[in-house]
Amino acid sequence: MVKIGKRKVGVAFVMVPPVAFLIAWGPPELLHLMVVLATFLGLREYYNLVLPDANWMERMIGIGLGLVLSIVLSLGDEKQIFPFFVIALFILSILFMATSDDLSSATSKMGRALFGILYVGFLLAHVSLIRNMTNGRLWVLLLVVTVWAGDIFALLIGSFFGRHKLYPKISPNKTFEGLGGAMVGSIIVALIFSMIFIPRLERVPCILLAIGLGFLGQFGDFTESMLKRGAQVKDSGTLIPGHGGMLDRVDSFLFSAPFLYYSLLYLLKETP
Phi then psi for 115, rounded to 5 degrees?
A: -60, -40
Q: Which amino acid is at 12?
A: A
Lowest mean pLDDT among 13-17, 177-181, 247-251: 13-17
**Higher per-residue confidence, 15 vs 176:** 176
| Residue 160 Cα to chain centre, angstroms | 26
**Higher per-residue confidence, 271 vs 198:** 198
What is the C-alpha to C-alpha distance for residues 20 and 199, in angstroms, rounded to an integer? 19
**Higher per-residue confidence, 125 vs 21:** 125
Average of per-residue pLDDT across 75-97: 87
pTM: 0.91
Q: Is the dihedral of CA 76, 79, 83, 88 positive or negative?
A: positive
* Measured CA distances, 116 to 110, 123, 140, 150 (Å): 10, 10, 23, 25
Q: What is the reported pLDDT for 227?
A: 92
pLDDT band at 245 (very low <50, low <70, confident <90, very high): confident
> pLDDT digit string (tens) for 38-79?
999 999 999 999 999 888 999 999 999 999 999 998 886 667
pLDDT band at 11 (very low <50, low <70, confident <90, very high): low
Q: Burial of 194 by CB count in 10 Å (0-12 exposed, 13-18 middle, 19+ buried)?
A: buried
What is the C-alpha to C-alpha distance for residues 91 and 124, in angstroms, rounded to an integer? 22
Q: What is the reported pLDDT for 1?
A: 41
Average of per-residue pLDDT across 208-231: 94
pLDDT band at 234 (very low <50, low <70, confident <90, very high): confident
Asked if 234 and 133 count as a contact pair (C-beta separation under 8 A), the reply is no
Q: What is the reported pLDDT for 99?
A: 86
> pLDDT digit string (tens) for 185-200?
999 999 999 999 999 9
What is the C-alpha to C-alpha distance for residues 64 and 75, in angstroms, rounded to an integer? 17
Helix-helix angle 106-116:28-50, to 10 degrees: 160
> pLDDT digit string (tens) for 144-188?
999 999 999 998 899 889 889 998 888 888 899 999 999 999 999
Q: What is the reported pLDDT for 235?
A: 73
Size of the chain in residues: 272
Domain boundaries, the chain: 2-266
> pLDDT digit string (tens) for 115-141?
999 999 999 999 999 999 989 999 999
H runs (alpha helix) in 56-202: 56-74, 81-99, 106-116, 123-124, 126-131, 136-161, 176-197
Q: Which amino acid is at 69?
A: L
Average of per-residue pLDDT across 247-271: 93
Rounded to the nearest integer, the mean pLDDT of the chain is 89
Residue 137, Cβ neighbours under 10 Å: how many? 18
- What's the CA angle centered on 138, arms 136 and 144, to 5 degrees? 100
Q: State yes or no: pLDDT of 18 exceeds 90.
A: no
Q: State yes or no: pLDDT of 16 exceeds 70.
A: no
What is the C-alpha to C-alpha distance for residues 64 and 256, in angstroms, rounded to an integer? 24
